[in-house]
Structure 1
Amino acid sequence: MTGIVAWEDPVIPLDADPEDYAGSDLDVRAVLQRLPAEDRPGRRLDDLPWGRFHHAHGRADDVPGFITNLGSSDPMIAKNALRLLSGTLCHQGSTSAPGAMAVPFLLRVAENRIAHHRADVLWLIADIARRCHYGDGTRAGFLRTAPDGLTYDTYAYPAGWSIQAARDALAQDMDILIALLDDPDPEVRSHSAYALAAATVADGSVYPHLHGRLRAEQRPEVRASLVLAIAQLAFDRDRDHATAWAHSLLSNLEQPDETRVSAAIAWLCLTDGPVPHQITALLLDADDSVIDALEQSPWLQAIAAPGLGYTRCIGQLLDLNDPPHMIDDPWA
């Protein structure tokens, strides 16, 4: 087992097999699944057992108050609430069970056009629903959402359960994210694609919305996010079709350069064979405007600080001679 810090009062006993508690009231996936679907639009914060679970700093009784403040009309109150939520629900990139429970309520903040920091809220939602990759920009890791094996958060709770619950919660409210793809704010559009790509998608119904937005989108940084979102959704379920689509996109000289470069990244992550010279040249010869557009996408911002994401990601994707730049896992 990796990533355990033996804090007091764990949700599941430290000497227990977590699978013995799968489906119980201590399984956040089951807790969310048991909530009546018809009550979803009017769901209240006190409908959920926050105090039963831990975030990074203890029991999660304080989360409802943070979420309430996030919707404040005062931008400073909302900003401070977002900071507290980010530091507790997805501390150092590690998703907690209360993070999954917060997803439906965070989505409703993000869809409110008079709310503050909506794109950042979507970023938090998307991070909650993804594995902690610690700057993994490799072909095998860049688009992978679910964690490998059994990992734990800082309270020895199965992180995979929390991530799966968050992904399922996104799928239940996919209509909100699809609507946000047409939001007037380009950063909200970009980050809604990032969140949508983490959802548990059982069929292909979401693809027409992403492809339609890609055809209509005028902002290069949003086009980059849409291409990567389509590829990430296909990573585990429709890789062959997505690989052919990405190759046709990167080969089409009539496509915008940032679309072609994003498609080249997608193609690399969807395949594991030798890298064609065409793709190497496309990625290494990208001009500053293309790199800037890619740097603004949440995928590359998650790899490294602004100004470093493209270089580090391409270095890992192409397996260049530079040393690895992945961040050390603090819980390993």
Structure 2
Amino acid sequence: MTDVEDKQGVRSAHEVLSWSRFGVEPALRSAVDRLPESMRTIAGYHFGWRDEHGQVTGGNGGKAIRPALTLLAAEAVGGVAAAAMSGAVAVELVHNFSLLHDDVMDHDTTRRHRPTAWSVFGINSAILAGDSMLMLALDVLADSGHPTAQQGVRMISVAVQALLDGQAADLAFEERGDVDLLECVKMAEGKTGALLGCACEIGALFGGGNPDQVAHLRGFGEALGLAFQFADDLLGIWGDPEVTGKPVFSDLRNRKKSLPVVAALNSGTEAGRELDLLYHSDHPLSGDDLRRAADLVDLAGGRAWSQARADDLLSRARGHLVAAEPTARAAAELDAVAELASHRDH
């Protein structure tokens, strides 16, 4: 098949994400149904499938970027998406385990335009539900029957350890006033890059890719994951709550040392120095303080620097994608998803 023939019917990024949600959700629901009832109720609420009383709603479980990457990576190495379905479900469960815990640690009360699970069911219950979903992810892979399932479990384990290390650093940064850009980027590599890299890695593995293809697709996902975090940090300050589903200035309210904030604090500018005084003041930040903090990050160059870095990382991801020698259609669709993920509005 020629590249021209292989590219026929290439879907847009939004079409790919819809395909991913439609394909993965039945398997994801089936997996969640295996949880104990107490955990299943909270998980179903978190995914948007049920309300706090357990009644069925019309919601969905989110953007499904990670499972889309897994399924496309399988196709990119010449395999079929169905071969990587268990991997797609596993990475989505791990992602949502991390969201349940993140909301607790960040004290966020809104996600996906609804009250967060911990604010409805309590902190302890939300933590336990997250733990349950993490173990379910490993069970889904182990029970898949795929000949490389054990290697897939190992990949998930390595990614989760990196994710937890990144989250620990993120929390520690909130108590420090001397965070530099290098360690902030390293934190983001673990917190976000590791799981997106794993999503692509498992897809390529389960799709039958050779070691070089698996490695390059992992590199694609890791670079994209870091670009995704830059975009997410920008949304955490300037995102529209009506679109993001999170409170306005949520990251600033929590005084998070996000990438644009750390860039501003290390800028050596007058705006950066004023931001430092505001961020490390003893009093709670008012609405006016939050608006001023956002302006200061922008004035100090944190916003422009973050977008430029996201663009650079997207280029790096594309380099890995080309090196993996993917099938043409899957390459085009992975590129489209990468563009959307690094320049998104929610």
Normalising by structure 2, what TM-score? 0.28
Select the structure with the greater relative contact order (CA < 8 A; seq sep ≥ 6).
2
Question: What TM-score, normalized by structure 1, do the two folds share?
Answer: 0.29
